[in-house]
Amino acid sequence: MDDARPDPFATAAAEERWAMVRGIVAGGALTDPAWRAAFEEVPRHLFVPYYYVGGGADRLWCEDPDPVRRAQWLRGAYADGAVATRIRDGELISSCSQPSLMARMLEELDVRDGQRVLEIGAGSGYNAALLSHRLGADAVTTVDLDPEITESARRHLAAAGYRPAVITGDGTRGWPPRGPYHRIIATCTLPCVPQTWLDQCVTDARILAPFATGLIALRVSEGEHGRYAEGRFLHTPAYFVPLRGTLPRPVRRPHLGTLPRRVSENQLFRFLLTLTGATLDPREALSLWQRERRPERERFGITVRDGRQWAWLDDPEGPYVWPLPGG
């Protein structure tokens, strides 16, 4: 006779996954039934068979002989927080992002059936699996510079039953063979927007990427001199590992010790200072921030046009504009 008893681990994993989804929904995300189904059905624990805690001092593992630590690993796999999946020489180089933030980003990507998506930063493969669930694996391409990351992402995806194109390469160059793309989503922080991405998009494509502790949503259009893109930041804060590739390195942030602590630790002020880079020193940034009544992220935007790119406040042609690295 077949043993019809439920698998205790499968039951526990499903309960953790459903609890994760309930928490995300309670926070206001996953209003789209298709994305909710993806989060309910894609097993996140398969994408984080191990991860680091305590700043990298300890590793939780799915095959730990201690059942208490295995249970801790499973709970952490479905907790609403980012988990560090790869640390090299003490530096975090890859993680599996916070599920609620991933849900908001995927909903903001605004995909439609039949569209092709390019993901920059394969990470654990979990985001590509969610996209594959929603659009079909043939519509999804994910690129990462690190062959170890792409190999593990490919393995995780196969274990979960998904086979999108997983490419080892410089994400700053996109991946033309699978284009043109209707959507591009980055899961790493950009110092500037690669023109190559725009060139690989269809007109009216959407690019969503972390930038300066925020999320920029760009619309790609066709202009007199070629493709250009423009858009505003979303309200949501976002902190990701930096994009690795051939783009300029982010500008080192100036010392904030000359400012009051309540200012230097304010998220919106740090966003402004990070966005304006070397253009404004902390005192100039503080003066602007106070003069404009502590502007929220949504008042800022980015334009990429005619070989230049710049950040702006309120108006891309207004008085407050700042050139971006490489722009």
Once rounded to an integer, what is the mean pLDDT over residues 305-318? 95
Contact 294, 268 (CB under 8 A): yes
| Domain termination residue (choose one: 214, 232, 250) | 232
pLDDT digits (tens, 9 = 90+) for 251-264: 555 556 567 777 76
Beta strands in 163-295 (DSSP E): 165-168, 181-186, 201-211, 214-223, 226-232
Q: Any idea which of 49-63, 68-82, 167-181 has the lowest mean pLDDT? A: 49-63
Domain assignment present for 274: yes
Q: Do 177 and 311 have their domain in common?
A: no
pLDDT digits (tens, 9 = 90+) for 82-123: 999 998 888 888 899 999 999 999 999 999 999 999 999 999
Q: Do 163 and 89 have their domain in common?
A: yes
Domain assignment present for 52: yes
69 Cβ contact list (under 8 Å, min separation 6): 60, 61
Domain assignment present for 249: no
Domains identified in the chain, total number: 2
pLDDT digits (tens, 9 = 90+) for 199-239: 999 999 999 999 999 999 999 999 887 899 999 999 999 98
> Could you list the residue range(s) of the whole structural domain that residue 291 is in?
261-323
| Confidence tier at 1 by pLDDT (50, 70, 90) | very low
Q: Any idea which of 145-149, 278-282, 305-309 has the lowest mean pLDDT? A: 278-282
- What is the set of active-site residues? 97
| Confidence tier at 57 by pLDDT (50, 70, 90) | confident
Domain assignment present for 241: no
Beta strands in the chain (DSSP E): 50-53, 58-61, 83-88, 91-96, 117-120, 140-144, 165-168, 181-186, 201-211, 214-223, 226-232, 300-305, 308-313, 321-323
